[in-house]
Amino acid sequence: MSDLYNVSAAPHTRSPIKTNTIMQDVIIALIPASLFGIFNFGLRALLVILVTILSCMVTEHVYCKLMKIKSDPWDYSDVLTGLLLGLNLPVSIPYWMAILGGIFAILIVKMLFGGLGQNFMNPALAARVFLFISFPARMSSFLVDKVSSPVVTDFLRDGALVLDGVAGATPLGQLKSGETVDLLKLFVGHIGGTIGETSALALLLGAAYLFYRKVITPIIPFSYILSFAVFALIFGGQGFDMNYVLGQVLGGGLILGAFYMATDYVTSPITPKGQIIFGIFLGVMTGIFRIIGTGVEGVSFAIILGNLLVPLIDMFTRPKSFGKERVKDVK
Amino acid sequence: MARMTFMGGIHTYDGKELSKDKPTSVLLPKGDLVFPLSQHIGAPAKPLVAKGEAVLVGQVIAEADGLISSNIISSVSGTVKAIERRLTAAGKMEETIVITNDNEYKKIEDYGRERDYSKMSKKEIREAVKAAGIVGLGGAGFPTHVKLTPKDDSKIDYVIVNGAECEPYLTYDYRLMLEEPETIIEGLKVILRLFDNAKGIIGIEDNKPDVIEKFKELTSGNSNIEIQALKTKYPQGGERQLVYVTTGRKLNSKKLPADVGCVVSNVATVAAVYMAVAKSTPLTNRIVTISGDAVTEPQNFNVPFGINFSEILEAAGGFKVQPEKIVFGGPMMGRAMYSYNVPVTKTANALIAFAKDEAAVEESPCIQCGRCYFKCPLNLLPMKLQLMGLNNEDEKFLELDGMECCGCGCCSYICPANRSLTQTIVQTKQRIINKRNEKHEQHELHELHKEHKAK
């Protein structure tokens, strides 16, 4: 036997970039935003994040065990979904809701549709929207400051009980009612919102890392944010008011959504052309939800709606293979 | 017009430093020499010798059979030991002529006679190329005399010499370009004699600056030959990529370079053309690369065709560690083999031994990251083509231009989920081609049957 060597079809070499390294990179990119969330909202934020991650991991593994699916436990996709979900929840959410969200994301959105790579919408966002529709009040009560009680046991209690931080209007709410916002505060992130969405600075830091590692390209986030800014400029009714437009861009979940959720491989178009169309669609939909609609937040809804259109966009932006372009393109 | 680069492509660990700096050494065979009858694209050659017959260096031992075929030429003198089936680097048992070497290297008459190619007619040049048994030495093995005979000579605008050598690990073209640049340039001049309106281009990847410098120097007086430095990227040396990068002209899989006024040949092929035409020396040997992290002294050897790879490996010091995988050709498009006890042929040009088999990994689900699409030099959607191949959806496979795939391997290389994209797509292509041929045969049988009935 020692004379026989491995035989397989070409190629015989493989790139060192693997699914798990990509997932790890995204997780690493989210660390600044997570740390800021914990700094901003206190240790309970950490607990919420850990609970969602654990919920996602357990759901995936139990499902795979029950259905006898051989899964790679270390592809980190479940950890990433959990982390993203945690960052998309308000710090005051009861733990059982966070757990429910994790189960919904993995079981309903991901595994029932075929697991990794087959989900038709972003699992974390779908779970957020599911929780938002089911428990609108709980999902939109945002703290502006730290959960003040430092007693450890308090972390374990239902969210409502520790809600002694200062609840208040989010920047988007302020903008909607015509007030101006402090842009610097908005950029740094010392504002109300979900755990991970408040600090544009921390999120952009992570995004820069993702660009550097070539995990994502700027096409989707830039076309998304740009088209949304243009929409806000035209339909915001504030004229050329930079405070308003920038406030809209930096406030709420836009930065988190544009760089980390809309760029999810599975639920975004493949070709650059398709990605631009996708980004513009998201920008316009977010604008409609935020500015024309009655709510203040629209990123989650816009992205999962966009996710549904991806197969259609992919169909219409099918690339032409090399040398088969129309005659006039060939010189 | 020349382009900066082509779309897609990958940058891999190129492994060339293992073997590139050692001068090529000439290696004479010890054992019997084995000449497969099929060392080229097209019909296998027809044996002209019988068992027991004496042969000379340069003697045609099997002649081209049909339009697309090539002569097989003995690289040693001796006697025919057998005509039998032997294992080849193509991975199968093939009909071969086995010759016992008498170690005298007696040559045929006229071997090495100088000829002035500027006084030869086009027909004479083509005859000389055909007689010398020259085929594309880049790995594909398309008979060169066929390539040099397009429908209309005057419509060829460019003769492109491929010195890209984009496959990782391989350095035989690099050594040839460094050691015998004049032969290559003269060979290009011979080919240019065939095409009155053509200009010569020699394309070399910019990871070989010494070679580019040398070629520029040697051709500085010649306005009809241009040296182009190509960006180092795999598959720069692919025919369609090379034509596009050097001339701006695009080819799809149904077109030949001649359809857009180009003739493309590898540097070693061009050198062989010069030797055949100007020196009356048929193609009897080539440079092969022995490399890989399991080989003791990776280097290049100039060897006669028919020599056993195990002899060359021995000359390179054998293995320093037990390899997991042996590949003939480069790691991107080469063929893995379970044994290296096979002869050197016109298309088996390198042996790479890997201590670890990188491709022995498990597939995981596609995450639709699109890397395969971004790296595809032909702008295809490998992830979709693979699914269609696995599901036997031939119609959809054709609709997405699956037949355009050139099998370069970029998609499989880059896939983070270790999916066998290239493998499945190439297999599906072959299946569809086989199906078409079968249909064609059935149709012909049917027609014959009808004819028979009518009679």
User: B238 to each of B161, B273, B425, how far by Cα in Å?
Assistant: 12, 21, 18
Question: Which residues in chain A have their CB less than 8 angstroms from residue B336's CB?
Answer: 5-10, 12
Instruction: Kindly tell me if the per-residue pLDDT of A144 is higher than 70.
Output: no
Question: Which residues in chain A have their CB less than 8 angstroms from residue B318's CB?
Answer: none
Hey, what are A150's tokens? 């430092």
User: Do residues B159 and B195 make contact, with C-beta atoms less than 8 angstroms apart?
Assistant: yes
Q: Which of B279, B304, B333 is the last residue of a domain?
A: B279
Nearest to B334 among A10, A116, A330 (CB): A10
One domain for residues B131 and B179: yes
Question: Which residues in chain B have their CB less than 8 angstroms from residue A13's CB?
Answer: 12-13, 168, 331-332, 358-359, 413
> Closest Cα of chain B to A148: distance in Å?
42
Domain, as residue range, for B399? 371-436
Contact state of B251 with A323 under an 8 Å Cβ cutoff: yes
One domain for residues B320 and B338: yes
Q: What is the mean pLDDT of residues A206-226?
A: 96
Q: Which of B228, B249, B279 is the last residue of a domain?
A: B279
Contact state of A265 with B7 under an 8 Å Cβ cutoff: no
One domain for residues B195 and B287: no
Distance, in Å, from the CA atom of A324 to the CA atom of B253, rounded to the nearest integer, reads: 9
Question: Which residues in chain A have their CB less than 8 angstroms from residue B325's CB?
Answer: 5-8, 12
Nearest to B367 among A265, A320, A330 (CB): A265
Render pLDDT for A71-125 as a digit per residue (tens, 0 to 9): 766 789 999 999 999 999 998 889 999 999 999 999 999 999 988 889 999 999 9
Q: What is the mean pLDDT of residues A176-181?
A: 77
Q: What is the CATH number of the domain that holds B41?
A: 3.10.20.600
Three-state secondary-structure class, residue B447: helix
| Long-range contacts of the stretch B109-114 (C-beta < 8 A, 24+) | B110/B280, B111/B57, B111/B58, B111/B280, B111/B281, B111/B282, B112/B279, B112/B280, B112/B281, B113/B279, B113/B280, B114/B278, B114/B279, B114/B280
Hey, what are A104's tokens? 């919904």
Instruction: Kindly tell me if the per-residue pLDDT of A253 is higher than 80.
Output: yes
Cβ-Cβ contacts under 8 Å between A and B: the total is 164
Give A176's pLDDT tier (boundaries 50, 70, 90): confident
One domain for residues B269 and B325: no
Whole-structure pTM value? 0.90
> Closest Cα of chain A to B135: distance in Å?
23
Residue of chain A with shortest Cα separation from B337? A7
> Closest Cα of chain B to A252: distance in Å?
27
Distance, in Å, from the CA atom of B302 to the CA atom of B298, rounded to the nearest integer, reads: 14
Q: Would you state the pLDDT for residue A292?
A: 87
Q: Does some domain include residue B451?
A: no
Hey, of B324, B367, B414, which one would you mutate to test binding to chain A, going by the most A CBs within 10 A of its CB? B367
Nearest to B368 among A13, A117, A323 (CB): A117
> Closest Cα of chain A to B181: distance in Å?
31
One domain for residues B129 and B233: yes
Whole-number CA gyration radius for chain A: 21
Nearest to A19 among B10, B409, B417 (CB): B417
Residue of chain B with shortest Cα separation from A310? B368
How many domains would you assign to chain B?
3
- How many other CB atoms are there within 10 angstroms of residue A178's CB atom? 9
Nearest to B378 among A77, A117, A322 (CB): A322
Q: Does some domain include residue B18?
A: no
Q: Would you state the pLDDT for residue B322?
A: 92
One domain for residues B187 and B93: no
Hey, of B5, B12, B369, B397, which one would you mutate to test binding to chain A, going by the most A CBs within 10 A of its CB? B369
Strands B72-73 and B158-163: unpaired
One domain for residues B263 and B174: yes
Q: Would you state the pLDDT for residue A139?
A: 83
Q: Does some domain include residue B175?
A: yes
Q: Does some domain include residue B67?
A: yes
Contact state of A116 with B418 under an 8 Å Cβ cutoff: no
Hey, of A3, A14, A264, which one would you mutate to test binding to chain B, going by the most B CBs within 10 A of its CB? A14
Render pLDDT for A284-298 as a digit per residue (tens, 0 to 9): 999 999 888 877 678
Strands B225-230 and B93-101: unpaired
> Closest Cα of chain A to B381: distance in Å?
8
Q: What is the CATH number of the domain that holds B154?
A: 3.40.50.11540
Which neighbouring-strand residues pair with A50? none
Question: Which residues in chain A have their CB less than 8 angstroms from residue B368's CB?
Answer: 117, 265-266, 270
Whole-number CA gyration radius for chain B: 22
> Closest Cα of chain B to A329: distance in Å?
10
Nearest to A13 among B249, B323, B358 (CB): B358
Task: Pick the closest to residue B171 from B62, B28, B14 (CA basis).
Answer: B14
Residues of A in CB contact (< 8 Å) with B are: 2-15, 17-19, 21-22, 72, 75, 77, 115-118, 265-266, 270-271, 318-325, 330-331
Distance, in Å, from the CA atom of B210 to the CA atom of B373, rounded to the nearest integer, reads: 34
Tell me the HSE value of A116 on the side-chain side, using a 13 A CA sphere. 27
Task: Pick the closest to residue B139 from B284, B239, B260 (CA basis).
Answer: B239
Interacting residues of A137 by C-beta distance below 8 A, sequence separation 6+: none
Nearest to B359 among A11, A19, A270 (CB): A11
Question: Which residues in chain B have their CB less than 8 angstroms from residue A331's CB?
Answer: 1, 248-249
Q: Would you state the pLDDT for residue B455?
A: 64
One domain for residues B271 and B143: yes
Q: Does some domain include residue B83?
A: yes
Q: Would you state the pLDDT for residue A7?
A: 86
Q: Would you state the pLDDT for residue A331?
A: 37
Residue of chain B with shortest Cα separation from A9? B423
Question: Which residues in chain B have their CB less than 8 angstroms from residue A77's CB?
Answer: 367
Q: Does some domain include residue B364?
A: no
Q: Could you give phi then psi for residue B116, rounded to 5 degrees?
A: -90, 105
User: Do residues A140 and A216 make contact, with C-beta atoms less than 8 angstroms apart?
Assistant: no
Distance, in Å, from the CA atom of B333 to the CA atom of B327, rounded to the nearest integer, reads: 9
Residue of chain A with shortest Cα separation from B417? A19
One domain for residues B225 and B242: yes
One domain for residues B149 and B235: yes
Q: Does some domain include residue B198?
A: yes
One domain for residues B270 and B127: yes
Contact state of B10 with A15 under an 8 Å Cβ cutoff: yes
> Closest Cα of chain B to A275: distance in Å?
12
Instruction: Kindly tell me if the per-residue pLDDT of A1 is higher than 50.
Output: no
Flag residues of chain B having pLDDT under 70.
1-4, 455
Nearest to B336 among A3, A7, A318 (CB): A7
Hey, of A321, A324, A327, which one would you mutate to test binding to chain B, going by the most B CBs within 10 A of its CB? A321
Q: Would you state the pLDDT for residue B445?
A: 81
Give the rounded percent of residues in chain A with a pLDDT score beyond 90: 58
Q: Does some domain include residue B233?
A: yes
Residue of chain B with shortest Cα separation from A117? B367
> Closest Cα of chain B to A10: distance in Å?
5
Contact state of A323 with B365 under an 8 Å Cβ cutoff: no
Q: Would you state the pLDDT for residue A73?
A: 66
Contact state of B366 with A9 under an 8 Å Cβ cutoff: no
Instruction: Kindly tell me if the per-residue pLDDT of A136 is higher than 90.
Output: no
> Closest Cα of chain A to B419: distance in Å?
10
One domain for residues B326 and B382: no
Nearest to B336 among A12, A266, A318 (CB): A12
Question: Which residues in chain A have their CB less than 8 angstroms from residue B331's CB?
Answer: 10-13
